[in-house]
Amino acid sequence: NAGVTQTPKFQVLKTGQSMTLQCAQDMNHNSMYWYRQDPGMGLRLIYYSASEGTTDKGEVPNGYNVSRLNKREFSLRLESAAPSQTSVYFCASSVRTGDSYEQYFGPGTRLTVT
């Protein structure tokens, strides 16, 4: 049981380049999330998907697109990278336990845009 996996672990892009961050979970969870983590700002939600076929914007969606390919996979795309998108990106999935949800996080992707 690998949990939540993310690829790549590290990436360096030039301004204007595009890339897709991949995320997969093998826990059969319905909901999946993309966050970015910046120093002193905690984690901020970019997009989430409550179930296969649905996606919704979070707090900081500008400059990003997502695809919920199937129940397992949720990808994040940067169409034209900007230095402001230098960050650590975390994917998570969640399961309902009792009357609340618990989120499980991947190891992160460290992205630098020059």
Q: Does 107 bind other proteins (CB under 8 A)?
A: yes
Which two tokens mark 26? Answer: 């093998």
Q: Does 50 bind other proteins (CB under 8 A)?
A: yes
Question: Is 43 within 8 Å of 96 (Cβ atoms)?
Answer: no
At closest approach, how far in Å is the CB of 84 from other proteins? 18
**The one-letter amino acid at 79:** E
List the one residue from 20, 96, 112, 114 that touches other proteins (CB under 8 A): 96
Q: Which of 29, 78, 27 is nearest to 52 (CA)?
A: 29
Q: Does 28 bind other proteins (CB under 8 A)?
A: no
State the Cα–Cα distance between residues 48 and 34, nearest whole angstrom. 6
Which two tokens mark 81? Answer: 């990278």
Binding piece for other proteins, criterion CB under 8 A, among 14-22, 65-73, 76-84, 88-96: 88-96
Q: Does 106 bind other proteins (CB under 8 A)?
A: yes
